[in-house]
Each structure stands twice: as C-alpha cells, then as structure tokens.
Structure 1
C-alpha cells in the first residue's frame, strides 16, 4: 500500500477536471454530513446525480436545494465541527467551472481532515489517516470518468458510517 500524503492529495486535486473536483468536494461533505445532520443521508443525492450526468447547469440548483434542506442543522452540541461541515456546504460554488470547484475541493479536503482529526485520540491518528486515504481513493476513482463515481459514493458511505460510529461511541462514553 502506498503512503498517502497531503502533497500527493493536492497533486490529484490539481490534475482533476470539473466532474472529479465536484465529486471530491461532495464526497468530503457527504462523509462529514453526519456531524451536521445525522439523519440527512439523502440530502446530497440530487447533487451526486448532477455530478454523474456532468450536468453543470443543474449543479448550482442541487447545491442550493441541499443548503435549504439543511438550513438550521448543526446548531446543537459539537458546534465547532458542525460549523466546518456547514462551511463545506455553504462554500460549494454555484458555477460548474474548474477554478471555483478546485478551490472548493481543496477547502473541503482540509475541513474533512480537520473534522476527522477532531475525533482522533492522537494527532494524525487512524481517523485522520483513513480520511486521507479515502480522499485519495475518491480522486483516483473519478479520474477514470463517470464509472468511478459509484466507487466514490461507496467510499463516502463507508466513511460516513465510520465517522458516525466513532461519534456515537464517544457520546456514549462521555
């Protein structure tokens, strides 16, 4: 297994095209969404559909719809981490263009790594390392075109489950 570094992850983001960048940012948001709204698993489905179709015209509308559906979410405990996730959603560009999507994907990557590190017992612990690996795997999968989106979604679902379990376990032991 190759070692994943932030540098190699940034290189993948730098090489990605619109669909890959949208998928990368959306995957980070999707994995962290349980920290903002634990019961909102399907809120991002329309945005994923626009990515699958490469439909830049519908992208902004799908993102705006998700913002409306999650309005007011994350105002409870864990506000700092929920604010990171809210920022990922709020910062999603309405434009389907390389540079705004690249900047968003970078911010989402950093926010997701920060959120995972928040729940790690040690600096750069297993949650952080797992998130770094998932981000790289998503970018590598979507680099192969639309067929890689299913893998990206699977990785996001798995990562969301892992994070939700850690947060739940922590809440029970607190």
Structure 2
C-alpha cells in the first residue's frame, strides 16, 4: 500500500504516531536531545492524542525546543510565489538573493520547526490527518535537502519514505502494540539524520 493510502486509512493513534515519528527523526535539526519527544510517545501509549497529557507535553516540547508559537508558518526560502505582476523586477531579484542566501540546513530546520509548531494540541481525526500528511511531506523534503543526490529521491529520501511506511503499517497492524517498534524505527532514522547533520557541519568547518 502506498504512503498516501496508509495515511488516508490510519486511525487517530496511527496519524499521531506518523506525524510524531516524522518530527522525532528531525529533532537533530532543532538542537534537541534524543529524549525530548519521548513524553509525547508515552501519551500515545497511555490513551492517544486526545487526552490532556498530549497537549501539556506538546507545550513542554515546544518550550524546550524554543518553538512555542503554534501559528508560526514561515519557512525561509519556501514563501508563497508572488502574484503575477504584483512586484517589480528589483523586488523579485531581492527575493531571489534572499532565498539563495538561505542554506539547505536552515530550510530543513525551518521545516522541522514548523512540524512542531503546527502539531494540534487538542486534535481530532481531521486535524491529525492534515498534520500527519504535512509532516510526511516536510520530512521527505528535509531529507531531500540534505541528501547527497543532486536530484530525485536519493538514499536519504528513499530510507525516510520506507520508515514512514513502516510506522504506519506497524500502527495499522498492531494498534498500541505497534508504538514501541515504531519508536525504534524513528530512533534509527534520527541517528542517521544526526550523523548527516554532523558530517555536513564538519564539511563547512
């Protein structure tokens, strides 16, 4: 089954786990430690994302990662295209220069921050599905930005897609029992991304 189909068929716990797993794998971009989102995983094990604990722990994670504003929706280099005829050539050139000055790491970090900022604090199925879908796309884009391949789906992107599918299949097949192996899948991906981020940082030094 495709990733799109799995998200469309997932229940509330599966959707919450899918979005959370995408975010968890990208924590190295936010400067967080490996345990910062563990309380949210515990919330899913205890009763899903519809309890008070989810909202409280989400707020704490935002505070710890300095991402407390859930209305944040600005991603450097990923702003909306200007309407035709709405700007001068000078403005377009300035925007292009600004976008060029933003590194791939900055864009990836902004996408990860938005995943956390837009997580529904008091979610229903529709809110979770929209968030899970957005997190899936953002996580794939993050891995695309940091991939060694020049274009297309390189090894990082392909591995991230496999992990997203694995998490959704685990929750679909095992329910709450799939949370632990889903967390293990996410942990593996986080270690890979942390190594990629460290390697790119060394390359710039």
Structure 1 and Structure 2 fold alike (TM over 0.5): yes
Preserved CA contact (<8 Å) 1:30 1:156 = yes
For the pair 1:21 / 2:50, whether they are aligned, the reply is no
Moved more, 103-112 or 46-55: 46-55
Q: Report deviation, 1:96.
A: 3.1
Q: Report deviation, 1:79.
A: 2.2
Counterpart of 1:69 in structure 2 is: 64
Preserved CA contact (<8 Å) 2:140 2:160 = yes
**After the TM superposition, which residues 6-155 of structure 1 pair with which residues of structure 2 at under 5 Å, given as runs?**
8-37=2-31, 39-55=32-48, 56-57=50-51, 58-71=53-66, 78-122=105-149, 123=151, 124-143=153-172, 144-155=174-185
Distance 1:66 1:121 in 2: 30
Partner-residue secondary structure (3-state), 2:3: helix
Runs of 4+ in 1 over 3 A off after TM superposition: none
Q: Report deviation, 1:72.
A: 6.1
Q: For the pair shown, which has the larger CA radius of gyration, 1 or 2?
A: 2
Q: Which runs of 5+ in 2 are unaligned?
A: 69-102
Q: Report deviation, 1:121.
A: 1.8
Q: Which runs of 5+ in 1 are unaligned?
A: none
Partner-residue secondary structure (3-state), 1:111: helix
Moved more, 100-109 or 42-51: 42-51
Preserved CA contact (<8 Å) 1:113 1:132 = yes
